Amino acid sequence: CGSPNKAGLVTALIEVAEHIIPRFLNVPDLCTKSKSNSNHNEISDCMDVKNPLPDHVPYTKFSSGEDSDASETNDRPQELEKAVLDPETHELRTRTWMAAWRTEVENARTLTRLNLLHACLDACVRWEKSVEDARCRVCRRKTDDDNLLLCDGCNLAFHLYCLRPPLKRVPTGDWFCPTCRPASHTLEKRKREERLARSARRRKRALSSDDEDEEEEETSNSDNNQESSDENDA
């Protein structure tokens, strides 16, 4: 057999990465470096890129309070899981990391390097959110994976068209099923509806008041015209 086509592997790897939704990735810092031993130098190398995020983007992590190099490396997965990021910041951070990762893939000179970069990407995927073996909670079927949506609360699956009301596309942010939907979201929706109702009532009262003023003005003008007519007759 001939040697694998490196250019074809690069194209295939990038194509796979482009089809991963950012919220299903949990990427590390771009400036991460492994300090524990030299065995991880090549893998951490693909993350050794200066963080290009803007200064105004908030990013906070909960640390364990230990300063040793070994504990820092061992606690890394837990720190990533505990990253405090709003959806927009998470997407920006993920896309920035993916851009740096893609550059590394395009500049890879060996198949070994491509395998390491593939491993980096695979380690960032939140496989627990995969719909590969999920069954729709409503119709109980495993078919039509492209239209299966996983709840970010209970991790149960729902077909877009099995929901009531049905969804036309996969939401960009976190999505919760009716059971897991935060109470704050429902409360905010109710408050928004109440504000719209109050605004509609105010507009209705304003229109009604304007109509009354016009009627009074017309009545006053009519009375004045009548008085003028009576004086002229006299």
Domain harbouring 154, CATH code = 3.30.40.10
- When mean pLDDT is compared across 10-19, 69-78, 162-171, 202-211, the lowest value belongs to 69-78
Asked, for residue 204, whether it belongs to a domain, the answer is yes
Rounded Cα–Cα distance for residues 138 and 158 (Å): 7
pLDDT at 155: 78
The pLDDT tens digits of the residues spanning 28-61 come to 766 544 444 444 444 444 444 444 334 433 333 3
Does some domain include residue 11?
yes
pLDDT for residue 68 is more than 50 = no
Closest CA to 32 of 50, 17, 57, 55: 50
Is 193 within the bounds of a domain?
yes
Q: Among 13, 19, 27, which Cα is nearest to 126's?
A: 27
| Cβ–Cβ < 8 Å for 128, 157 | no
Instruction: For residue 173, tell me if it sits in a domain.
Output: yes
Same domain? 39 vs 114: yes
Is residue 37 domain-shared with residue 141, that is, in the same domain?
Answer: no
Are 58 and 108 contained in the same domain? yes
Domain range for 204: 182-234
Distance CA 201, CA 212 (A): 16
pLDDT digits (tens, 9 = 90+) for 151-200: 877 878 889 999 888 888 888 777 888 888 766 566 667 778 888 888 88
Are 121 and 20 in the same domain? Answer: yes
119 and 72 inside one domain:
yes
| Segment 2-37, tens digit of pLDDT | 456 788 888 888 888 887 777 778 787 665 444 444
φ, ψ of residue 60 to 5 degrees: the values are -135, 140
**Residue 224 predicted with pLDDT over 70:** no
Give pLDDT tens digits for 91-114: 788 888 889 999 999 998 888 888
Per the structure, the count of domains in the chain is 3
In a domain, 224, yes or no: yes
Q: For residue 153, give every residue at least 6 positions away whose Cβ sits within 8 Å of its Cβ, in sequence order, or none.
A: 176, 177, 179, 180, 181
Using CB atoms within 10 A of its CB, is residue 57 exposed (0-12), middle (13-18) or buried (19+)? middle
What is the pLDDT at residue 95?
Answer: 85
Angle at 6 between CA 5 and CA 9, to 5 degrees: 90
Supply the pLDDT for residue 103.
92
